[in-house]
């Protein structure tokens, strides 16, 4: 019935297969979608107001067309009456053969035909066009109601999680107050009584139960915040965009239908007179201006200023953990003897739900194609939420590993009846619970001064004497060698690198780590997964695991290797193959630091010299005080660079992880940063030199693209200038070796003016994002170190880019190079060239210059 509209749209919605295809086609067209610009409350209300106005316009059109049909019928009747009257003639016989009479009779017959045509057109509009208009009005009301119901459901989901977070926080505060009360009572009773007994045990049990409940509520709060943050992200980036895209497609289909009705009316109202032809032409011209794709542009432009949905700050309230002696950490699950079973049960609860979601989203699931876009988006959001919870829990259990028994609360529960610990390590977070003995009173002269001392002192671990096997065992190991000299000692290499090196059963190495500001030596072994054991130190200063103690760690490792005894009985781990340091792992003493030449995100950059070859190098250092997570990010650059070899990529020489500070050693590029070079030499560099710099950068990025490496921070400040003005890509701190990388940690430290729109709006990075950044880099080169989007703030530049603005060419830029920049700045990533094309273009252009 609807002209120009697929029959599937008659009910207001397409079947899923057609819907996905249609939405994909329209969403990828050159237009702005509702998902980007209509998430604010004001935009939502404006959209509803617009739809109400459209419904009122439809009612007005229906009334006018009804009146016009009535007028046309009356006009047709009048024309027919005139025709009948004109054909009556009492003197027909006398006028037989008259040319005038014949002409008049023909004119009256044609007038009758005109009357029939006017009546026929009026009846067609009444039976068909008005029916289409009524149907369109009904379907628009249904679509508006459906959109409003779905919008309210999604926003209510977010409101519910916000209220749940508030309730959980209040619950947290209540248990925190009770915990403080129980701790205060215990302190008060212990100090006043001055002795033990049944009452002391009761008070301590209440305190311990309060502590356990506080830890459980803490974990529930952490997971709920994680869920809330994911729900908010999904509402903003998935659920609302999916709803808006679907609703926009429905509204645009109505516009197509509406245009069809207008065109049909215009055709039926067309007459052959000059006046009616002019009217019809003007009407047809006006109809032709109705384009569905442009119908809502004005609405969207006005709502750009209203912004998007406000983001609730789901951050952990640090005041909740200030009085927990450091046992509870913000945004971190507490896995100890009080909570480990809860965490494991939570893992068992989350894991099957996650697998179920993944199976539903699998391409092999025949029911997947029956889901509409909104339902599919909800299922994907549920999968993301469960994945995030699973990762939080798994990370907590993995970090527990085997390195040490979890500290628990103020009272260690894992104790034997004589008050001593019965194990030196713990595997995969396993904890054994035993009853607490009544602690003996300390002597008056050693009275504890804090609640921690009061609780811990009676249960202090006893020193384990060296086994006689230690003295009898013949260890062929020199004690004169330093631990640093051992090939299997990897210094402060992070756990992620260790896991990468240990691949076969029995592979092992030794490293150092820091826990609670204390340096510890750790044995890492591949055995049914990756296990990590802290080397225990006896009261006599010897080293051991569960077996005999030795004077040096080398002797201990040699004994474990030669005896083939398990490191611990519980783990069963046996040492077979020591894993030596990789060739790029240098000793810190191999590098001599000289002048400071810069400053990075994690520490200072020095000019240095290799002691063995006297080669000059650049050395990036990592401050000792930075968090372990930042140290891992610092070493990520070295991990990426070590496998690359290209004249336009800065070369890695080695990484120093034997001791602090961690250092990355790279080739010394004599010209320094490209940005500084351009500004210093702005008056002397030639156009050919600038083009060659762009060519060098393209060659380096072409190489990285072939390695599936996304740089993510390509800019003049992160390029270096070597001999003969050769440009080298540097600073891989934000790089990822993936075809596609999705940012999940917000927009911190993102270089806004260099970053592609899809990365800023959706956190999605591909090598085509680097192409956008390359266009900005070329602009910097020809601007000779100028600041992109001069005079604009980051937010203003981002807003103007989304609106279609592109920077003009700097003075003196060749036209071919500016055209390439514009291609790199295509809003849709798939329309940008890849780096192999870019390199060919710039290389060919460079060869034409002199």
* Stronger pLDDT, 310 or 364, i.e. the higher one: 364
Distance, CA of 846 to CA of 695 (rounded, Å): 8
The whole-angstrom separation of Cα 648 and Cα 723 is 11
Other CB atoms within 10 Å distance of the CB of residue 314: 19
Q: CATH number of the domain at 585-667, out of 3.30.360.10, 3.30.200.20, 3.90.180.10, 2.60.40.790?
A: 3.30.200.20
Contacts of 380 (CB under 8 A, 6+ apart): 238, 361
Q: How confident is the model at residue 809 (pLDDT cuts 50, 70, 90)?
A: very high
Burial of 567 (0-12, 13-18, 19+ CB in 10 A): buried
pLDDT at 778 > cutoff 70: yes
- At 156-167, the pLDDT tens digits run 988 998 999 999
In the predicted model, is pLDDT for residue 695 greater than 90?
yes
Q: Report the 10 Å Cβ neighbour count for 484.
A: 12
CA 541 to chain centre: 48
Do the bridges between strand 536-537 and strand 543-544 make them parallel or antiparallel, or are there none, so unpaired? antiparallel
Compare 96 and 550 and report the one with higher pLDDT: 550
What is the rounded CA–CA span in Å between residue 717 and residue 755? 14
Q: Which two tokens stand for residue 801?
A: 């880019």
The residue-averaged pLDDT of 16-22 equals: 39
**36 against 796, higher pLDDT:** 796
pLDDT at 527: 94
| Backbone φ, ψ for residue 512 (5° rounding) | -120, 150
On the question of a cis peptide bond just before residue 661, with omega within 30 degrees of 0, the verdict is yes
β-sheet with 577-578: strand ranges across: 530-534, 518-526, 507-515, 577-578
What pLDDT does residue 411 have?
30
Which of 71-75, 183-187, 269-273, 423-427 shows the lowest mean pLDDT across its residues?
423-427
- Contact of 678 with 716, CB cutoff 8 Å: yes
Domain 39-89+96-306 falls under CATH 3.40.50.300: no
The pTM (predicted TM-score) of the whole model is 0.43
- Using 50, 70 and 90 to split pLDDT, how confident is the model at 408? very low
Query: What average pLDDT does this structure show over 548-555?
Result: 93
* pLDDT value at 780 more than 90: yes
Work out the pLDDT band at 316, boundaries 50, 70, 90: confident
Sketch the domain layout of the chain as residue ranges.
39-89+96-306, 333-400, 585-667, 674-847
Q: Which of 555, 734, 529, 552 has its CA nearest to residue 633?
A: 734
Is pLDDT of 741 > 90? no
User: What digits encode the pLDDT tens for the residues 373-392?
Assistant: 788 888 888 888 899 888 88
pLDDT given at position 711: 87
- How does pLDDT run across 280-311, given as a tens digit for each residue? 465 566 567 666 766 666 566 666 555 555 66
pLDDT at 167: 93
674-847 domain in CATH 3.30.420.40? no
**pLDDT for res 806:** 95
Catalytic pick among 72, 234, 696, 713: 713
Of 423-427, 549-553, 644-648, give the lowest mean pLDDT range: 423-427
Other residues' Cβ atoms within 10 Å of the Cβ of residue 189: 15
The whole-angstrom separation of Cα 551 and Cα 470 is 9
Average the pLDDT over each of 44-53, 178-187, 419-428, 569-578 and give the range with the smallest value: 419-428
Structure tokens at 253: 């289909």
- In percent, the amount of the chain with pLDDT more than 70 equals 76
What is the largest distance, in Å, between two alpha-carbon atoms of the chain? Answer: 152
Higher pLDDT, 79 or 4: 79
Cβ pair 689, 727 in contact under 8 A: no
Per-residue model confidence (pLDDT) at position 538: 87
To the query of whether residue 713 is one of the catalytic residues in this protein, the response is yes
| 423 pLDDT more than 50 | no
Residues 706, 710, 716, 719, CA torsion sign: negative
User: Among 85-89, 469-473, 833-837, where is mean pLDDT lowest?
Assistant: 469-473
Lowest mean pLDDT among 27-36, 651-660, 703-712, 812-821: 27-36
Tokens found for residue 237: 């980036």
Report how far apart the first and last C-alpha atoms of the chain are (Å, whole number): 67
């Amino acid at each position: 019935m609807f002209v120009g509209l697929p029959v599937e749209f008659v009910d207001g919605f397409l079947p899923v297969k057609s819907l996905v295809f249609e939405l994909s086609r329209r969403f990828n067209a050159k237009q702005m979608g509702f998902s980007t610009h209509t998430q604010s409350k004001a935009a939502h209300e404006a959209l509803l107001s617009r739809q109400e106005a459209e419904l009122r316009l439809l009612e007005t059109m229906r009334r006018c067309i009804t009146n016009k049909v009535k007028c046309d019928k009356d006009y047709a009747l009048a024309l027919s009456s005139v025709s009948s009257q004109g054909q009556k003639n009492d003197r027909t016989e006398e006028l037989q053969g008259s040319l005038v009479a014949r002409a008049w009779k023909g004119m009256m017959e044609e007038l009758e035909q005109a009357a029939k045509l006017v009546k026929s057109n009026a009846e067609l509009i009444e039976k068909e066009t008005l029916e289409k208009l009524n149907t369109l009005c009904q379907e628009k009301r249904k679509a508006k109601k459906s959109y409003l119901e779905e919008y309210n459901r999604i926003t209510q989901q977010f409101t519910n999680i916000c209220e749940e977070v508030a309730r959980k926080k209040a619950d947290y505060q209540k248990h925190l107050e009770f915990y403080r009360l129980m701790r205060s009572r215990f302190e008060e009773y212990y100090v006043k009584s001055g002795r033990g007994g049944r009452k002391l045990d009761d008070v301590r049990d209440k305190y311990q139960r309060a502590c356990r409940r506080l830890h459980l509520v803490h974990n529930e709060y952490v997971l709920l915040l994680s869920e809330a943050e994911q729900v908010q992200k999904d509402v903003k980036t998935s659920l609302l965009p999916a709803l808006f895209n679907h609703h926009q497609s429905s509204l645009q289909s109505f516009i197509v239908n509406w245009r069809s009705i207008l065109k049909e009316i215009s055709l039926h109202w067309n007459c052959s007179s000059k006046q009616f032809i002019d009217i019809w032409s003007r009407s047809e011209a006006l109809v032709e201006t109705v384009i569905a794709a442009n119908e809502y542009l004005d609405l969207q432009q006005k709502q750009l200023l209203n912004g998007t949905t406000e983001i609730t700050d789901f951050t952990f309230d640090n005041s909740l953990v200030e009085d927990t002696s450091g046992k509870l950490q913000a945004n971190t699950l507490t896995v100890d003897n009080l909570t480990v079973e809860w965490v494991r049960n939570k893992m068992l609860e989350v894991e099957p739900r996650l697998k179920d979601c993944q199976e539903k989203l699998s391409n092999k699931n025949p029911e997947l194609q029956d889901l509409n876009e909104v339902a599919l988006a909800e299922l994907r959001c549920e999968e993301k939420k469960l994945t995030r919870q699973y990762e939080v829990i798994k990370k907590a259990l993995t970090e527990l590993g085997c390195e040490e028994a979890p500290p628990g609360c103020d009272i260690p529960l894992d104790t034997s009846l004589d008050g001593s610990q019965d194990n030196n390590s713990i595997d995969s977070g396993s904890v054994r619970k035993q009853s607490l003995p009544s602690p003996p009173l300390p002597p008056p002269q050693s009275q504890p001064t804090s609640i921690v001392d009061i609780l811990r002192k009676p249960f202090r671990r006893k020193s384990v004497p060296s086994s006689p096997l230690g003295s009898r065992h013949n260890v062929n190991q020199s004690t004169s060698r330093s631990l640093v000299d051992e090939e299997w000692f990897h210094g402060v290499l992070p756990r992620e690198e260790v896991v990468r090196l240990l691949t076969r059963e029995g592979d092992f190495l030794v490293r150092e780590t820091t826990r609670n500001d204390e340096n510890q030596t750790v044995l890492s072994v591949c055995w049914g997964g990756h296990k990590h054991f802290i080397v225990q130190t006896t009261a006599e200063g010897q080293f051991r695991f569960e077996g005999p103690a030795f004077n040096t760690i080398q002797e201990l490792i040699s004994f474990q290797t030669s005896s083939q005894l398990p490191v611990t009985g519980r783990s069963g781990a046996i040492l077979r193959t020591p894993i030596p340091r990789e060739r790029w792992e240098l000793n810190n003493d191999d590098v001599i630091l000289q002048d400071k030449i810069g400053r990075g995100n994690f520490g200072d950059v020095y000019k240095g010299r290799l002691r063995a070859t006297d080669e000059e190098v650049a050395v990036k250092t990592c401050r000792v005080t930075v968090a372990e997570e930042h140290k891992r990010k610092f070493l990520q650059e070295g991990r990426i660079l070590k496998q690359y070899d290209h004249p336009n990529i800065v070369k890695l020489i080695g990484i120093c992880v034997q001791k602090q500070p961690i250092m990355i050693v790279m080739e010394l590029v004599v010209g320094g940063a490209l940005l500084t070079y351009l500004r210093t030499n702005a008056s002397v560099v030639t156009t050919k030199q600038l083009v060659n710099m762009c060519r060098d950068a393209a060659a380096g990025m072409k190489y990285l693209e072939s390695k599936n490496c996304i740089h993510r921070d390509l800019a003049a400040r992160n390029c270096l200038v070597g001999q003969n003005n050769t440009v080298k890509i540097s600073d891989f701190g934000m790089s990822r070796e993936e075809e596609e990388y999705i940012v999940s940690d917000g927009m911190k430290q993102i270089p806004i003016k260099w970053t592609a729109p899809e990365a800023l709006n959706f956190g999605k990075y591909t090598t085509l994002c680097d192409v956008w950044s390359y266009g900005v880099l070329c602009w910097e080169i020809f601007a000779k170190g100028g600041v992109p989007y001069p005079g604009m703030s980051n937010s203003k530049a981002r807003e103007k880019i989304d609106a279609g603005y592109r920077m003009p060419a700097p003075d003196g830029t060749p036209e071919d190079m500016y055209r390439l920049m514009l291609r790199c700045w295509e809003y849709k990533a798939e329309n940008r060239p890849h780096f192999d094309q870019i390199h060919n273009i710039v290389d060919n252009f460079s060869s034409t210059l002199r």
